[in-house]
Structure 1
């Protein structure tokens, strides 16, 4: 078969192979594109699921805090309605009584942090208000048109939410009728300003919405979303809202939601258009959120959290770009490998062609795409093909008969001279020699890879030199080197960022410790707040006795009965010491501080807690059974142990009061082991549910009725006990009721306290 026929057949199969590779590359490209898109979607859904779990916990916490914060105001109108000064001001209408009532309402507002408190007569006219000093005072204004007045005047507690027509502030209203006998003589109203809650949650990483029953945004972390409709309202419903003057003068518009799709049964993906001010120009920005909602039954509202998805979308886009870049680099490396394989294949073909006669060699030299140069046995240039001239862009006829180093220079500075390495190749019997270097002629330089092949012809020795253009390869190497330098720079920057993040983490740990101390102090003050009524009773009794003894003592002095007067003064002194002891105990209990370990008597801590709790127990008629002093000494902090005992005694009282049919009794028992002292507080309530036992010591979990607790007492008590090296546990008694046990290490005088 002739060489031309072989070439034609080879070209035919080569073209078919190229077509097959083209379709293979196209299919691989489509699969890669599909994997990039589907993988990004799967990663995005997984990150959104994680965000939904975190946001759902934040939604529950936000709803609980909002309900608890507003619930504490719902009974204030009832307390105001029972105030004798309110009734007197409504009944008599004297200016002195009204002035005193204004001052008292102002003081109550400062203490309770309510927005406004005011009193209406039966005509709806405001006779007294906490804001009587302000320009926007309610005094003299008529609110008979408000539904909370209409409900209360009929003898029912009133609730309402609206934008204030006078103060122009949004609020939630609680009202209650003021009775004189069986007749209603006025209305007591308390307004809760919701702006304080917006400020509290304004700087969170999510947006929140408070929707009224009509789906109108009543409160939001974004002020421009206020009074927007998160849904659809009919014309009749909009007219009803306008007639009620609930949003006095505000236009009700629909929120610009352009996309809404359920993510799962509890959340939705929502896209909202938002106007953004950029360089004094207003631009429309599309914001994507994960929306979750839950009802607030106390207010008949719905609260929603909108967690932004911008960060997740950017991360997915970055992941896709990195993945696509990795695939691209892989494809480039594969192409480079194929190019290298092709170069080696061409070199092999050139070696095979050396077995043919000189004419065939010359034909190959003239037609090959690689630069070919033949050398004689003295390493002088005999001939070259047009590809060499094409590389340098000029004729090379003057180089015939010149040594190879007149055309090619090796790159290695320490490499032997051109003739030397050719002679060394001959001595070692090397038939193929490869070097990298440059084709240099006149003012032209081209980087090439040189391959020298020995050709043993029948009559003489000859050499075939092949030159491959390495311009692209050198460029690729420079790009890879630059990429490595940039990668090292990014690694250094990331290391610096991680060091900064580590510093911020240590700072956040210190802030967490401060927050924990504040929570412990808050729990103390919450307990003291619950015991205020009992403390008032304990102090009123000796105060009444002091007034009686003082009055009698004055009469005895007038009569000259000094001995009786002296006796009364002694009684007064004893009662004063008693009151001072009560106040001192509450003062010590309320102080701030960290846990300090030291020897403390268990009985002393129990008696200190009983001094604080006994007024409340007497008030509600709970029997308290305490075992005799066992002389136990533990290693801990007296004040913090008293706080734990007060929390447990207060919880026991609450559990008993929630089951009024049970026997009212609380027992405190002391036992010990070799290394621990165990204090057990047992109540006669209904006991703990299985769910309560599982979550009892978790923050913000409470099994009490709505509004009776924040769910922090047991969590803080557990931290205090663990800080003192002990444990706290809870279980139900076989005879009924719950039992809480505190285990503390016994004090060992041989081991110094930590």
Structure 2
């Protein structure tokens, strides 16, 4: 083959620069976006962990004191004091005040106070302070109203007297079935804000009115997230929850959906990734605000590193591009020559494959044709018998019997043609028509073919009684008759020289759970049976136990193939009372008539 020469290629730097720029842009933009997504996922995970810590901390802080009002409401000192007041007795409150003061100190709460059913405070832990609750009326507070209804009162608000934020728990005090007063515990929550350890993250706690009640950022406390309408501002003022604080909104200038369960907020000039969780028991929404500056910084860093790497890769790409350009024409010419040779070789291989397939078919047909003498011997014997009988009847002038014999000869020759056609199907997929077949007809036809041979065995008995209901199966009638002729021929040979030669033919329907119904046609003889070592190889082509010249071993092999083509099986075994049993199993047509 002539050696291919590489053509010289002129390389232009100017043509390569636009491609390099496009390559850098196409790589850096996805890199920036991907690094942003990774950094945001990490930030989102960190915010989720901080949110869980805050949520659990607040839940623990509130749960630690929820029991206290109920415990104090059961104390005799409290009950007796309220009962005396209800009866109009003048009672010194010092003992109750000191008891509440001591309880408040031990529990670590902000304040504990006792109110009458009218909401007036009659005893308090801060009894000795200038801003004591004694004498103050808190009947407007929802926690008092809930306690008077026999419920656990829960509420958060800015103290109307102390001006300090707190969370309130209250319980009714009973005298029998009558509510004689209310015990309230106020929990200070400012310590939770001051002890917030992470300066990188902010948190806020808001109510349904979106007022910030708690926050790590002191400038956000007691301010609405967004500007309030006049109706909203009026409702907040009337609730007296936040006193007279200014309702200047923090001002979230932009909200958008972030990652899973996250939002993006912009407050002022700062961007935050926000994770929130509802605390149903306190009627709060706890949120963590994570600044997104770390996401931007990480993305810029990764993109810068990627730019440096890509520039170096671009230089290598330029060298590679030049070499590729120099080899392009050479490869095109070599590819065209290779494609031409491949097409030629493919055509040669296709022709060789077709010849091999045809040769294999012809070899298989030749092997099957070698045993045609075995398959056609029985009908030929019958034809000869009919022909001999016809000659004798013709000499006696019995034309009617002659005509009958000639008709049988015609049928047998047609059957021989069908058998030769079926032998051809042994080497390829059968084209037989599978229809609803009466197996009794197939048995009768097979017995008719073998009748001359059976008649030569003295005392031979064929036990065959057609079923009361016609046994229909899905099969090909000619194939079933061919199988029966083979089986009955072997049975006839097996019962020769027996004292009481007998062949038993039976048809029965077989039903198995979770399987389709089948019909079994069995041929049993009382011959010597089959050697157990032979049974596994019985249906192999050219396997025979007969002496040389008496069979090619194709009968059972063809029968097995035909049974399989009809969706059935052919099995052989020895009967427990002696002799061999061959069973043909076929799919039932679903009806017995």
Give the structure-2-normalised TM-score. 0.48
Q: Which structure ranks higher in relative contact order (CA pairs < 8 Å, sequence separation ≥ 6)?
A: 2
Higher-Rg structure is: 2
